[in-house]
């Protein structure tokens, strides 16, 4: 819970990682979704803002968000 209140993105990266390896990307993708659970676009934007392996982390974040919010939450473009 404390980590969700963290505003310093660098601290998030230090705690969870932003690499290509699953232990350094899956927790970060879950975190990004939990940080912005009501907006498909916002959680993906947040994932990209953390840097590192952004395509992997953002795609996992988007998959989680899309599954949770439903297909209608995904913008057409």
Check residue 48 and give its pLDDT.
Answer: 98
Check residue 47 and give its pLDDT.
Answer: 98
Check residue 6 and give its pLDDT.
Answer: 86
How many structural domains compose the chain? 1
Check residue 77 and give its pLDDT.
Answer: 79
Cβ–Cβ under 8 Å, residues 69 and 76: no
Residue 60 neighbours by CB distance under 10 Å? 20
Q: Distance of CA 27 to CAs 21, 30, 52, 71, 76, Å?
A: 11, 5, 14, 23, 27
Residue at 21 is within a domain: yes
Low-confidence spans in the chain with pLDDT less than 50: none
Residue at 77 is within a domain: no
Residue 7 sits in which domain range? Answer: 2-71
Please state the pTM of the whole predicted model: 0.92
Check residue 46 and give its pLDDT.
Answer: 97
């Amino acid at each position: 819970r404390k980590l969700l209140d963290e505003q310093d993105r660098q601290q998030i990266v230090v705690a969870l990682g932003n690499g290509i390896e699953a232990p350094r990307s899956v927790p970060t993708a879950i975190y990004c979704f939990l940080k912005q659970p009501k907006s498909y676009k916002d959680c993906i934007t947040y994932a990209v803002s953390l840097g590192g392996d952004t395509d992997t982390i953002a795609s996992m974040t988007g998959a989680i968000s899309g599954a949770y919010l439903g297909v209608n939450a995904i913008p057409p473009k």
